[in-house]
Structure 1
Amino acid sequence: MSQSLPTIVFFAGAFSDPSCFDALSGYLQKVGYPTTYAYVQFLNPSDPTSIETAKDAEDARNKFLIPLLDEGQDVIIFVHSYGGVVGGQAAAGLSKSSREGQSRGVVGLVYLVGNIVCEGESLLQAVGGAYPPFIKEHYPSQGLAVIDPVMDTLYGDVAPEMVPKMEAAMIPHALAAFETPATAPTWADSTFHGRRAYIRLLMMNAIHSSCKTSG
């Protein structure tokens, strides 16, 4: 009996419902990869001030990653934009080498123009300490933000027929998620040498080109 393929867990970026991955998820399922979405707390929370990126990552880890591992599935983490901050923390310590006595673990990391921060650093610090003009702070209410324009900023590479779906998936985001420090990230673990990938998108303008190029 052939070994099953790893489950791919998608972490969407800021302002985005995970349904933005529906098309890609469908393609992967057709070739045999199970997929699932991590739903996170920073999207339109009732109390934006309660959000911390580390808590969000821990919640995603406990709700979405550990249950899959306990069910006997290996996992590949696939992140987009700010999803790299949360997904990168959530998977920390879940590699096979870190899970002594366990047969399953996180076996790969894929960053689709994912944000990368260091331990103790917030995303806002990583991008220079000021919000870019396309992030509209404290809208539609205090502590939340939206992104405008959506397509030119986040999804410039997307096919025209997908524009309505991508725009409909946009959700207000808690500013505190950008402003609170991250814990130790998975990408820094030497276990993932040869098991991590970074995909650039030339027309994704939320991340400056210099931040999408390895130094």
Structure 2
Amino acid sequence: MTTVLVVPGAWLTKAFYEPFLQALTEAGYDAQFAEYPSLDPEDPTAFDCHADSKAIAAVLRPLVEEEGKDVLVLMHSYAGMPGAAAATGLAKTQRVQQGKRGGVVGLLFVGAFVVPEGLSCAGLQGGNLPPWILLDQDQSVLTRDKPSANLNLADDPINNFAADVEGTLAQSLTAHSKPHATLSFTSPQPHPAWMDDEFKGRLASVVLTEDRAVPKEAQLGMIAATQQPWIVKELPASHCAPFLNRIDDTVALTREILDKML
């Protein structure tokens, strides 16, 4: 049984992804989830992209090194940065040559950032985060109380992330959103596994063609800039629709991609 480790986008809690995790389980996969210390932290200055990567690796490494599992790392949005770093050195192809069980069979980016080593998410966008990321905000943005420094929230998440999702269902975005440490977006990308030869032929992207947060052109541009071979599938969906009203499609694409990797 292949394990699918789901690594979330910024601002979103595990509860948001629970229906997708359940669908993966019903499809016969071992669904696992990694969380970030940069999500709603007490001290937002303490957690950057590297800290998030270490937290993901703390989930991923035991799956591979202790349990000998074959793992697909599925990354949504911001997860493409720390998730790719966490997989470094754990490629299935490499571990087979070393006579070891288990390994990361592939990296799957869903509307996700693909960022070169040393560059931040903000740096990839000319040094500034997009205006729909509200800086120095905590949950008080909803009550208009005093904002909190070094935290951020997404403005109008339903319109930016789920404009194609029915209203009641889309409300889960706001229900399961928390502030995120801005340092995650302004700190450099640790070495990403997609740069390594061991992952050639094991990189895949589900490009979300109706994405307002990370437009289709940006997704394709990041992929092309790696100069690596990719398995690319397109899904006519907004940024969060793959985990809301397009869950069955996302599971089907995950299976299709895994079949090409295994």
> 1:114, CA displacement in angstroms?
0.6
Cα separation, 1, equivalents of 2:167 and 2:74: 23
Spell out, residue by residue over 1:145-199, the C-alpha distance to the aligned partner (whole angstroms, 9 max, x if none).
0001101212334454421222211110000011111111112223223322111
**Are the structure 2 counterparts of residues 156 and 199 from structure 1 closer, same or farther at C-alpha, using a change threshold of 3 Å?**
farther
| TM-score, normalised via structure 1 length | 0.91
2:117 maps to what in 1? 119
2:254 maps to what in 1? none
Cα separation, 2, equivalents of 1:186 and 1:155: 30
Per the alignment, in what secondary structure is the counterpart of residue 111 of structure 1? strand
**Are the structure 2 counterparts of residues 158 and 9 from structure 1 closer, same or farther at C-alpha, using a change threshold of 3 Å?**
farther
Return the match for 1:59 from 41, 44, 55: 55
Confirm or deny that 1:38 pairs with 2:34. yes
How many residue pairs get aligned? The number is: 210
More helix by share: 2
2:107 maps to what in 1? 109
Per the alignment, in what secondary structure is the counterpart of residue 107 of structure 2? strand
Spell out, residue by residue over 1:68-121, the C-alpha distance to the aligned partner (whole angstroms, 9 max, x if none).
111121111001100111111111111123333421100011111111111111
Give the 5 Å matches for 1:123-134.
123-134=121-132
**Cα contact 2:115–2:121 (8 A) shared by 1:** yes
Q: Which runs of 5+ in 1 are unaligned?
A: none
1:187 maps to what in 2? 194
Per the alignment, in what secondary structure is the counterpart of residue 106 of structure 1? strand
- What is the Cα-based RMSD across aligned positions, in Å? 1.5
Per the alignment, in what secondary structure is the counterpart of residue 214 of structure 2? coil
Runs of 4+ in 1 over 6 A off after TM superposition: none
| TM-score, normalised via structure 2 length | 0.76
Alignment-mate amino acid for residue 82 of structure 1: Y
**Cα contact 1:152–1:204 (8 A) shared by 2:** no
Give the 5 Å matches for 1:58-97.
58-62=54-58, 64-69=59-64, 70-97=66-93
**Cα contact 1:11–1:79 (8 A) shared by 2:** yes
1:174 maps to what in 2? 181
Confirm or deny that 1:146 pairs with 2:153. yes
